Chain A
């Protein structure tokens, strides 16, 4: 059993050994979490397990029994019960028009949101550390950095 975006999900026996990434995408149809490499190198598949960033391609469903998982589809709900429609990190991403092709961005956002859970005001090095595992072939890194700083400010201002 898993708790995904607030819903209890039963795991049928025949998919217990499947990676969380494949389970989300191909069993639950939650396609916001992306496949990029399957070896933990690109970050496209990032989700939260108990609020921490985790590469969903690197862990199988049976290793997560009872864990609380948040995917991009449920991220906004973790913020004031989703009343704003978007999590502040997502709003900052829109504000700064970060995405180009956009494929890497849900993973980037999940990494960034986890960083801000941990460190409300990350410095440039904190951002490098937290985000270096997420590749963006389109090269949107500077806007990602700006969006993280903006989200950090907005979260601070709203608390």
Chain B
């Protein structure tokens, strides 16, 4: 359905706004509603419009998910192929432009397989049955006698009617009015059929394009006669443009236009060639004014969980059960610990980029985002062109994972293009990418927990602070933020509810809006929240003198059998009783990420003579239901393990001079080849369980598993991330 024709109420519902009572916002000044990413999961029958038989007999799949390395295009292609009896050569998967498919939910939260499996399978099955009808008509036989062949149907005498002959030089697309039964046969649900598809290699063509440099990312787009732009933005958070001297810059050969835009709070540069952009930028002298720079200390104070706990004042209560208030705080079997993480950057390998061409009544943008329709709507609002007349072409993203929902480069390019009536390319530098993209907020947890003599957790009180993730200031204009702040979002508290069976539970938190723009990062709140929970669990196991596996299983009781299974699996994989050499230690942590249970064991070697800390091995057991492409699921587990390691041991965001202090990778170390351990992975698979997320779960328990392993190796407990070698050996 086209969003532009939805009524306001329906629009609000679809963008998740009814929940925050935004309908009362009428009295506010400014644009009534911010443009929000579309977030409704697709209806099953929407899948009919994502497949097409091409004149050459191949099937085109308009993949409704953005591909940023999570391998979803490969998995969903397989789902289509299975329904239509296709081999990899007979299907082409494209990243559709906004004009080619209706708006779909933005690509986030590892929900692509879970939410899109059914519509994609259903749509492809509908195309298959339509083709069968055409074949039956052509051959004058009843539909029921036609058996499936390879990209073809078979007549009872064995003769083949190929898809190619059915296409007969034309395209076959399903029509809005075509009616199909809901219970159409879905081949993907037939375990016997799936083996054939699984035996083939999927995604080879994509891999070949990548390894030969042919794959086009948004940075690689070349449009005839394009100009090259850059927008100079405040050097401090909240900085206001006071004055700018552009005279010298304007004189540099190759400059098309340099101008000051006080309204947009920037100085903009447009050049004929890209090579002079740096020089022109350096020649522009801007003075920014900020009343009071936002400092690291301001942020620490704003997010100090202790302060909130002392005043017993939290914005949100995530869980409250049993007796908690009015009990003695201290007992021998209680712990009261604080766990903290700092803000961290996306640091995706491709700094964002786009080309925009804004004409009088239409605009075209070539870029990449986790939601091209969202970019389309933002550009429409920015340029005043109706969103039906804005086309955004999608490209593969060079990483993203929450960091590329907004495409600020596309907005800047559109703004500049409108000024000069020509296509303009804007490529963010690495410095811009670090400075102006949003970050994962810091988290500050104070957990108070008690265990009984038998090792059962009786009380768990977690009070934490962080900043908004989903209701981010990156999208919400100021006049609407306070409304969002009243309601609880799903980002910051993700994973903050421990899976264990705890009779007395109180979890409260505040997501405090700070001037630093915070938003989604891989796993949202799951990694920092799980770090706090699973570190505390480890400490409680030690306090109870119980084996960490046993302690977890005991406290899960009858809850979450699938989580128990992965814990047992990972224990079996690691054979924990094996004696480790001196200075080696292993730690376990587990989590249910959204619905996916996962357990990770990490082994570290903390060498006191060399003063080096190394993660030597990791074991992962995960249950993401029915697996479509086992190799891609493994790849996600491997990648998340490395990312989680990077987060635990390397990544440290900091503020300096009123802004993010990181300019480039030399100030923001990431995990590299020599940091990467051997990784062992097992999937628990039950074909009967529908597919659930696999793109993020492993990131959640990894940092805690590492901290727990360091404790096992050194007897030192680290409750703050990142943990550096200096800390370990100090």
Contact = CB atoms under 8 A, between A and B. Distances in A.
Q: Do A and B bind each other?
A: yes
A33 interface: yes
Contacts, number: 169
A135 B679 contact: no
A94 B398 contact: no
Contacts of B252: none
Interface in A117-136: 127-128, 131-132, 134-136
Given A22-B274, A73-B213, A128-B674, A41 B664 contact: yes
Contacts of B215: 102
Given A32-B213, A32-B214, A139-B639, A100 B69 contact: yes
Contacts of B212: 32, 72-73, 76, 86, 90
Interface string A134-158: 1111111111110000000000000
A99 B676 CA distance: 16
B429 to A, nearest CB: 7
Interface string A22-49: 1001100111111111110110100000
A103 B349 contact: yes
Interface in A91-128: 93-94, 97-106, 109, 127-128
Nearest to A101: B69
Interface residues of B, number: 59
B190 interface: no
B429 A103 contact: no
Contacts of A100: 69-71, 635-636, 639
Central interface residue in B206, B217, B349, B396, by most chain A CB within 10 Å = B349
Contacts of A76: 212
B408 interface: no
B594 interface: no
Contacts of A31: 213, 216, 219-220, 222
Contact of A141 (B349, B396, B398, B673): B673
Contacts of A73: 212-213
Contacts of B429: 38
A37 B275 CA distance: 16
Given A100-B639, A142-B678, A33 B671 contact: no
B211 A99 contact: yes
A90 B211 CA distance: 6
Nearest to B427: A35
Nearest to B642: A139
Interface string B669-707: 011111010110000000000000000000000000000
A11 interface: no
Contacts of B69: 99-102, 138
B638 interface: yes
B649 interface: no
A16 B657 CA distance: 36
B717 interface: no
A53 to B, nearest CB: 14
B656 interface: no
A56 interface: no
A15 interface: yes
A141 B219 contact: no
Central interface residue in B70, B398, B638, B666, by most chain A CB within 10 Å = B398
A18 interface: yes
Nearest to A72: B213
B397 A35 contact: no
A145 B673 contact: yes
Nearest to A90: B211
Nearest to A37: B430
B613 to A, nearest CB: 16
Nearest to B278: A38
B207 A97 contact: yes
Contacts of B396: 101-102
Contacts of A145: 673, 676
Interface in B320-370: 347-351
B213 A33 contact: yes
Given A41-B664, A90-B211, 9 more contacts: A31-B220, A36-B665, A71-B213, A97-B631, A104-B398, A136-B349, A138-B399, A139-B639, A141-B676
Interface of B: 67-71, 203-204, 206-208, 210-217, 219-220, 222, 273-275, 347-351, 396-400, 427, 429-430, 631-632, 635-636, 638-643, 646, 664-666, 670-674, 676, 678-679
Task: Give 4 nearest A-B pairs by CB, closest first.
Answer: A32-B213, A139-B642, A103-B398, A101-B69
